[in-house]
């Protein structure tokens, strides 16, 4: 946990949390607190901390309380010179402070609410290094003047000037370098941010390490992070300004190793780009879309995906105003047994917390409709510093005391029970909070009062102790385990995208947010107000404080509907193929109803693709005079057909050694070919605007379809329908009964539909069940069509030039396209969102893929095995001396056939 992790570095009683919010700790001095007694003064040795708004004395003895003196409560700060009268005991130089309040903290070394003593007080401190006493007094007087200014803006400006002066007079101590051979790249003043605390100092980046050296030497002289150990780095908004930078040395931990706030954006960006450049060869930078693809395909758990989205949306465990937000997923906190197979067990993830109770929602809507512009539905947020500490008070009591001016909240308002908290979130007039990651982690200490804190008594007389858990949880560890299981359950996996739409996606703001009853105060949204534009310093600070304390909506990551997770429905097929709806393939893994057979097929596919890097060349043949454009194979694999720009259709044996036939239909190039299911008819498309039917048994052209006004670029066939794509900007759908395929007549081609495009169509492909078609055009547009209504479902401008090839994933959830811009794009069929974009070193001309892995043929002639999850090439196989132009694969037989610009056709075997 973030709070525990940040305290592992020090065992001191003193903490920066003893300071006020937005206060700095400048320097410390070994000193004595002099307590005047009737007989003889008593001296308590300790450390005197000079802070921007207070003086803190931290005694060495654990039984003595820490004493805090707010500078605004000081009436007089006086330096008294050392007394050298030979007739009296020598008296060292002293600091006398007259004040009206003393605050006692950690009395008897117990974390508890602070004790305030009010009234006229006079205290004395004596520094061990007497020569510095007068300088310390001058510093205190200067800070005292700042604290006594009437306007908060003037106070803040004067303290900031003091801080910048200190930073300017100091620099990073290069003696702290781990190696004398290190070469420094840059150094600048920054602040290290931890929950509720900013600690100023200097950062230095070398060719090996990142160093942070606190100005005050607390909690240690220097913090070192090896650049080779960095796994992730994020730019952050801090205080609504682009000044933050967070560095992670772990992959899935939501606690970072350091969070830095720079004083200007240029410094922040230089640090970021230097580290990012260093990591370029070690770490892949992920986008929300790339994480989405991993999650959709089951490579990331729901928990991991939500952590990554929070990170990308500027949520950080070091910033309580932007702490990671997780959903309530359960609704049942009263049953003795938790049944994760019942939908009623779960919360409705399609609605925000404030809209879960219809009666309360009606009241909120009534108020909303009567509000002046801009109206908002909820007066409090689902995530704020107060809510985070509400959950974590048992492990972060000092943070709660810091926020609450040294007090805990009222006992009845504390986090006492899971069931009570959920009920209040459903019914409370101002309670709309979601959860935090700790509820799905493995450390249950935040649910238990292991520190034996005195958190008060409730009205019923009971003490606030451990959190009361649901009856279905035997203890805190059991609760977390079951709660995490619920998060990863089938129901949540099926509906999590709906909650993501509300918090990170297209329902976060605008008309969609209004329709979803998801409208919060305007100040909570990024860009809702520019604090720097407010001229009055006091108003600006007040506005910033209000925004930070109220809560902030995450940065918007998605502007279109978030796709559903694929694996949620893979083994729950309930629809019959005959009742297929336009988007039914989004929930069907396959056309087959035999789930055990499909499981075997899926495993076989995975095995084939896991061995794809072991692709071995079996044989090759050069039987064409120009580039090969299409390949088709008979069902038994005995015959292979290929087309070429040399205008011929060739037929040869599987071993590519026995050339059998050569047919020419016209003097123009043939662009593609396919073999009908009967195995007796080959269909070829041509640049002469025609489609030709060739009878294998009779060895002659059987029929000609003259259906387009320009070259036919690609043909597809499914269930008595022929699909033809053309450079005349259309895709045409023809009905052609299969039982008459041996005796075609032109009149038997019935035009069912003409799909209009804005540019020439280069490629088309059908989904596994033939209900969806994807087309790729010369202008870079990918279109997805519903073949039951012949209507466009999605039109996405993916590429900046020609699209060479498009194809559905085996589950028909995604479409992959490759183009002349050297990019590979994955489009989600349901939402039309580009969820992955890979920039290759060369054009990819054709490919086969399983949804995660891609075997692509490149312009250089190599075959490249791509891992779309990591966006990397895992294998490069030399294949052709020119571009790979076409590819055929049979996963069942572990076979691949490729054709190229070099006129060669090559047969490959996938070896295990």
DSSP state of 367: H
| pLDDT score of 566 | 77
What is the average pLDDT across 569-588?
36
Regarding beta strands 223-226 and 834-839, do their DSSP bridges make them parallel or antiparallel, or are they unpaired?
A: unpaired
Q: Is residue 521 part of a domain?
A: yes
Tell me: pLDDT of 577 over 50: no
For 118-129, the pLDDT digits (tens) are: 999 999 999 998
Residues 175 and 158 in one domain: no
Q: Is residue 294 part of a domain?
A: no
pTM over 0.85, yes/no: no
Phi, psi torsion values for 103, nearest 5 degrees? -115, 125
Tell me: pLDDT of 783 over 90: yes
| pLDDT score of 572 | 38
Residues 162 and 200 in one domain: no
Tell me: pLDDT of 6 over 70: no
Q: What does the block give as tokens for 796?
A: 């996405």
Give the Å distances, CA to CA, from 55 to 47, 74, 103, 551, 703. Answer: 11, 10, 10, 31, 96
For 734-782, the pLDDT digits (tens) are: 998 755 444 545 457 899 999 999 999 999 999 999 999 999 999 999 9
For 331-341, the pLDDT digits (tens) are: 999 999 999 99
- The half-sphere exposure of 473 on its side-chain side, counting CA atoms within 13 A, is 24
* CA dihedral of residues 862, 866, 871, 875 (deg, nearest 10): -70
Q: Is residue 746 part of a domain?
A: no
The residue among 535, 550, 565 that closes a domain is 550
Residues 176 and 156 in one domain: no
Give the Å distances, CA to CA, from 889 to 716, 876, 896, 907. Answer: 16, 18, 4, 10
For 179-237, the pLDDT digits (tens) are: 999 999 999 999 999 999 999 999 999 999 999 999 999 989 999 999 999 988 999 98
What domain count does the chain have?
4
Q: Is residue 457 part of a domain?
A: yes
Q: Tell me the average pLDDT of the chain.
A: 88
**What percent of the chain has pLDDT above 70?**
89
Q: What does the block give as tokens for 430?
A: 């101002």
Whole-number Å distance between alpha carbons of 414 and 435: 15
Whole-number Å distance between alpha carbons of 336 and 333: 9
Q: What does the block give as tokens for 221?
A: 């002289």
Check if the beta carbon of residue 201 is closer than 8 Å to that of residue 191: yes
The residue among 167, 185, 215 that closes a domain is 167
Residues 31 and 146 in one domain: yes
Residues 412 and 396 in one domain: yes
Q: Which of 435, 562, 572, 452 is nearest to 508 (CA)?
A: 562
Binned at pLDDT 50, 70 and 90, residue 108 comes out as very high
Least confident among 414-423, 537-546, 809-818, 868-877? 537-546
What is the average pLDDT across 688-696?
94
Could you tell me which residue, 588 or 789, shows the higher pLDDT? 789
Give DSSP secondary structure letters for 246-283: EEESSSS-SS-SEEEEESSHHHHHHHHHHHHHHHTTT-
Q: Is residue 245 part of a domain?
A: yes
Residues 50 and 25 in one domain: yes
Residues 125 and 204 in one domain: no
For 165-190, the pLDDT digits (tens) are: 999 999 999 999 999 999 999 999 99
The residue among 532, 550, 568 that closes a domain is 550
Q: What does the block give as tokens for 239?
A: 């205080």
DSSP state of 490: H
Give the Å distances, CA to CA, from 208 to 45, 184, 194, 259, 279. Answer: 41, 9, 24, 19, 11
| pLDDT score of 535 | 65
What is the average pLDDT across 236-264?
88
Q: Which of 287, 306, 232 is nearest to 837 (CA)?
A: 287
Q: What does the block give as tokens for 789?
A: 């209504």
| pLDDT score of 86 | 53
Q: Which of 595, 571, 560 is nearest to 829 (CA)?
A: 560
Binned at pLDDT 50, 70 and 90, residue 657 comes out as low
Phi, psi torsion values for 528, nearest 5 degrees? -65, -30
Could you tell me which residue, 600 or 107, shows the higher pLDDT? 107
CA 823 to chain centre: 23
CATH of the domain at 98: 2.30.29.30
Tell me: pLDDT of 434 over 50: yes
Least confident among 272-281, 713-722, 877-886? 272-281
Tell me: pLDDT of 656 over 70: no
**Helix/strand/coil for 11:** coil
Tell me: pLDDT of 598 over 50: no
| pLDDT score of 161 | 94
For 549-566, the pLDDT digits (tens) are: 788 999 999 999 999 987
Residues 346 and 484 in one domain: yes
Residues 442 and 346 in one domain: yes
Q: Is residue 821 part of a domain?
A: no
Binned at pLDDT 50, 70 and 90, residue 251 comes out as confident
A 10 A CB-CB count for 359 gives 8
**Helix/strand/coil for 212:** strand
Q: What does the block give as tokens for 668?
A: 């123009």
For 470-520, the pLDDT digits (tens) are: 999 999 999 999 999 999 999 999 999 999 999 999 999 999 999 999 999
Residues 51 and 139 in one domain: yes
What is the average pLDDT across 614-643?
91
94 bridge partner residues: 80
What is the average pLDDT across 829-851?
91
For 145-166, the pLDDT digits (tens) are: 999 998 888 888 999 999 999 9
Binned at pLDDT 50, 70 and 90, residue 593 comes out as very low
Phi, psi torsion values for 480, nearest 5 degrees? -65, -40
Residues 193 and 246 in one domain: yes
Q: Is residue 102 part of a domain?
A: yes
Residues 338 and 223 in one domain: no
Check if the beta carbon of residue 419 is closer than 8 Å to that of residue 310: no
**What percent of the chain has pLDDT above 90?**
69
**Helix/strand/coil for 841:** coil
Whole-number Å distance between alpha carbons of 776 and 845: 13
Q: Which domain holds residue 182?
A: 170-285
Q: Is residue 92 part of a domain?
A: yes
| pLDDT score of 602 | 65
**Helix/strand/coil for 153:** helix
């Amino acid at each position: 946990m973030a709070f525990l992790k940040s305290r592992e570095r020090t065992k001191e009683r003193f903490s920066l949390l003893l300071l006020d919010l937005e206060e700095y700790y400048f320097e410390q001095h070994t000193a004595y607190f002099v307590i005047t007694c009737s007989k003889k003064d008593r001296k308590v040795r300790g450390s005197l901390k000079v802070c921007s708004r207070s003086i803190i004395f931290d005694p060495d003895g654990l039984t003595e309380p820490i004493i805090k003196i707010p500078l605004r409560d000081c009436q007089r700060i006086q330096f008294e010179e050392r007394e050298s009268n030979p007739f009296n005991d020598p008296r060292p130089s002293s600091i006398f402070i007259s004040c009206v309040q003393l605050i006692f903290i950690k009395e008897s070394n117990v974390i508890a609410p602070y004790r305030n003593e009010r009234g006229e007080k006079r205290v004395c401190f004596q520094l061990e290094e007497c020569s510095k006493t007068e300088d310390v007094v001058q510093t205190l007087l200067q800070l005292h003047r700042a604290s006594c200014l009437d306007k908060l803006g003037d106070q803040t400006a004067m303290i900031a000037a003091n801080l910048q002066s200190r930073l300017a007079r100091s620099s990073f101590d290069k003696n702290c370098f781990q190696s004398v051979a290190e070469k420094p790249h840059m150094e600048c003043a920054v602040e290290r941010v931890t929950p509720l605390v900013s600690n100023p100092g200097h950062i230095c980046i070398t060719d090996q390490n990142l160093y942070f050296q606190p100005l005050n030497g607390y909690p240690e002289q220097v913090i070192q992070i090896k650049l080779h150990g960095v796994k992730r780095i994020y730019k952050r908004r801090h205080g609504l300004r682009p000044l933050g930078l967070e560095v992670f040395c772990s992959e899935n931990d939501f606690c970072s190793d350091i969070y830095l706030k720079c004083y200007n954006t240029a410094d922040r960006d230089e640090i970021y780009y230097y580290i990012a450049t260093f990591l370029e060869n070690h770490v892949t930078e992920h986008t929300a879309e790339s994480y989405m693809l991993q999650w959709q395909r089951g490579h990331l758990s729901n928990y991991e995906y939500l952590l990554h989205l929070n990170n990308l949306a500027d949520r950080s465990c070091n910033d309580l105003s932007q702490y990671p937000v997780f959903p309530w997923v359960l609704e049942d906190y009263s049953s003795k047994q938790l049944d994760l197979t019942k939908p009623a067990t779960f919360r409705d993830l399609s609605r925000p917390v404030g809209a879960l109770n219809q009666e309360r929602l009606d009241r909120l809507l009534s108020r909303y409709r009567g509000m002046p512009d801009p109206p908002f539905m909820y007066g409090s947020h689902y995530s704020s510093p107060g809510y985070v500490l509400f959950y974590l008070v048992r492990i972060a009591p000092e943070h709660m005391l810091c926020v609450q001016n040294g007090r805990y909240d009222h006992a009845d308002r504390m986090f006492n029970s899971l069931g009570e908290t959920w009920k209040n979130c459903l019914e409370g007039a101002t309670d709309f909070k979601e959860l935090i990651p700790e509820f799905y982690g493995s450390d249950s200490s935040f649910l238990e009062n292991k520190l034996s804190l005195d958190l008060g008594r409730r009205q019923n007389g009971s003490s606030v102790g451990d959190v009361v858990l649901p009856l279905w949880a035997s203890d805190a560890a059991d609760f977390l385990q079951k709660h995490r299981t619920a998060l990863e359950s089938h129901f949540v996996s099926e509906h999590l995208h709906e909650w993501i739409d509300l918090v990170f996606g297209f329902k976060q703001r605008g008309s969609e947010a209004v329709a979803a009853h998801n409208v919060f105060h305007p100040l909570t949204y990024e860009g809702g107000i520019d604090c720097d534009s407010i001229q009055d310093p006091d108003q600006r600070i007040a506005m910033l404080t209000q925004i930070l304390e109220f809560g902030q909506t995450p940065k918007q990551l998605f502007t279109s509907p978030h796709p559903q997770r694929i694996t949620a429905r893979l083994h729950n097929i309930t629809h019959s193929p005959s009742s297929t709806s336009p988007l039914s393939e989004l929930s069907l893994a396959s056309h087959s109803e035999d789930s055990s057979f499909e499981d075997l097929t899926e495993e076989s596919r995975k095995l084939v693709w896991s061995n794809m890097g072991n692709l071995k060349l079996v044989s090759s043949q050069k039987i064409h005079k120009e580039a090969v454009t299409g390949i088709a194979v008979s069902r038994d694999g005995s015959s292979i057909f290929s087309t070429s720009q040399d205008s011929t259709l060739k037929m040869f044996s599987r071993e590519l050694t026995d050339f059998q036939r050569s047919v020419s239909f016209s003097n123009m190039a043939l662009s593609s070919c396919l073999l009908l299911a009967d195995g007796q008819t080959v269909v070829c498309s041509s640049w002469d605007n025609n489609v030709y039917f060739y009878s294998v048994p009779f060895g002659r052209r059987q029929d000609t379809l003259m259906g387009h006004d320009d070259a036919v670029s690609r043909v597809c066939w499914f269930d008595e329908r022929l699909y033809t794509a053309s450079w005349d900007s259309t895709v045409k759908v023809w009905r052609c009964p299969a039982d008459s395929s041996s005796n075609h007549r032109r009149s038997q081609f019935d035009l069912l539909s003409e799909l209009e495009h804005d540019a020439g169509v280069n490629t088309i492909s059908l989904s596994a069940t033939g209900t969806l078609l994807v087309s790729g055009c010369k202008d870079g547009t990918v279109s997805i069509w519903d073949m039951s209504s012949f209507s466009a479902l999605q039109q996405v401008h993916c590429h900046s030039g020609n699209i060479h090839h498009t194809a559905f994933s085996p589950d028909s959830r995604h479409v992959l396209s490759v183009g002349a811009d050297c990019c590979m794009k994955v489009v989600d069929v349901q939402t039309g969102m580009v969820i992955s974009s890979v920039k290759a070193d060369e054009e990819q001309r054709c490919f086969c893929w399983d949804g995660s892995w891609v075997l692509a043929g490149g312009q250089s002639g190599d075959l490249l095995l791509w891992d779309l999850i990591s966006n990397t090439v895992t294998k490069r196989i030399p294949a052709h001396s020119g571009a790979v132009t076409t590819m055929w694969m049979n996963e069942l037989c572990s076979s691949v056939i490729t054709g190229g610009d070099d006129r060669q056709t090559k047969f490959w075997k996938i070896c295990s």
